[in-house]
Amino acid sequence: DRPAEQATAAASGAAATEQFRSKQRTGTADVDTRRVDTLVSELLAATHDIIRRHKLTYAEYDALKAWLIRVGEDGEWPLFLDVWVEHVVEEVANENREGSKGTIEGPYYIPGAPRLPAEATLPMRENEAGTPLLFHGQVSSVDGTPLAGALIEMWHADDDGYYSQFAPGLPEWNLRGAVVADDQGNFAIHTIEPAPYQIPTDGACGSLIEAAGWHAWRPAHLHLKVSAPGHQLITTQLYFRGGRHVEDDIAQAVKPELILDPGPAADGNGHQVRHDFILDKA
């Protein structure tokens, strides 16, 4: 039951596009006309400048046009934008937020994962591959108050680098859960360590990577959303010290504060690591 056989860029792209449409934070209707004018004019001016400086040829212009058409056909706009653009949007959006650092959401978050108690195991298959990981810690406010009942949503790829609901053959909520912290803000999540993630190589984004001589890898990562009433939600990811591609993430979403250093598990089964979250006030 390895999903690799049927996992295609177009299928995961279509799922990511559909997911984005259903969760869209803000509609386009409320973006101010003058902002659109300014932003799009500057984007076009920067494009014109690049064309002049590099003397873009018609062959290159047509290659660009064909590629842009294909990004849409493959449903890869969410992937393209989240890999190459979102990290700067996140940087600007959260530059004044106190507390724990966040990073990009990426294309594979799904709201409404199963609710789990403060100590829980993420939904997974009976013989889920991968090193067991106990991820535990405490959620508190910037003023030091523990945040009872904080919500820790976690989602991550499996040992083959696949996300449930974006690759075929995986149980619906595999490796996705919403853990409710205890009355001291404490949580303990049992899961497995995800594998490094290679973005689909058979779609438009893969073609770009190949044409430019880049690589398609993100380091192994856990995705999280941590929230509590009266506080700002943190969207973040956590990485593993020494892991492949921590130093050259294609999505440029690694920050030093986000690198975990797990040790051996107390029960002798895999690894464990403590990581606390500090939320800024709303």
Q: Based on CB atoms, which residue is closest to ligand MBD, 233 or 265?
A: 233
> Residue 166 CB, nearest distance to ligand MBD (Å)?
9
Say which residues have a Cβ less than 8 Å from residue 73's Cβ, sequence separation at least 6: 10, 204
Site stretch for ligand MBD (CB under 6 A), options 93-101, 104-112, 136-144, 228-236: 104-112
Question: Pick from ligand MBD, Fe ion, none: which does 193 bind, CB < 5 to 8 A by kind?
Answer: none
Tokens of residue 280, six digits: 């800024």
239 touches ligand MBD (CB under 6 A): no
Tell which positions 253-272 bind ligand MBD, by CB under 6 A: 253
Q: Based on CB atoms, which residue is closest to Fe ion, 75 or 106?
A: 106
219 touches Fe ion (CB under 5 A): no
Q: Based on CB atoms, which residue is closest to Fe ion, 106 or 177?
A: 106
Count residues contacting Fe ion (CB under 5 A)?
A: 1
> Residue 227 CB, nearest distance to Fe ion (Å)?
19
Q: Based on CB atoms, which residue is closest to Fe ion, 86 or 118?
A: 86
Query: Cα–Cα–Cα angle for 79, 82, 84, nearest 5°?
Result: 100
Tokens of residue 25, six digits: 């934070």
> Residue 12 CB, nearest distance to ligand MBD (Å)?
9
Interface pick for ligand MBD out of 76, 82, 158, 193 (rule CB under 6 A): 82
200 touches ligand MBD (CB under 6 A): no
Tell which positions 82-111 bind Fe ion, by CB under 5 A: 106
Question: Pick from Fe ion, ligand MBD, none: which does 83 bind, CB < 5 to 8 A by kind?
Answer: ligand MBD
Q: What does the radius of gyration of the chain's CA atoms come to, in whole angstroms? A: 20
Q: Based on CB atoms, which residue is closest to ligand MBD, 187 or 239?
A: 239
108 touches ligand MBD (CB under 6 A): yes
80 touches ligand MBD (CB under 6 A): no
Interface pick for ligand MBD out of 13, 107, 137, 196 (rule CB under 6 A): 107
Q: In angstroms, rounded to a whole number, what is the distance separating the alpha carbons of residues 233 and 250? A: 25
Centre a 10 Å sphere on the Cβ of residue 277 and count the other Cβ atoms it contains.
24
Tokens 């990511």, residue?
16
Could you list the residues that contact ligand MBD (CB under 6 A)? 79, 82-83, 104, 106-108, 197, 199, 218, 251, 253
Could you list the residues that contact Fe ion (CB under 5 A)? 106
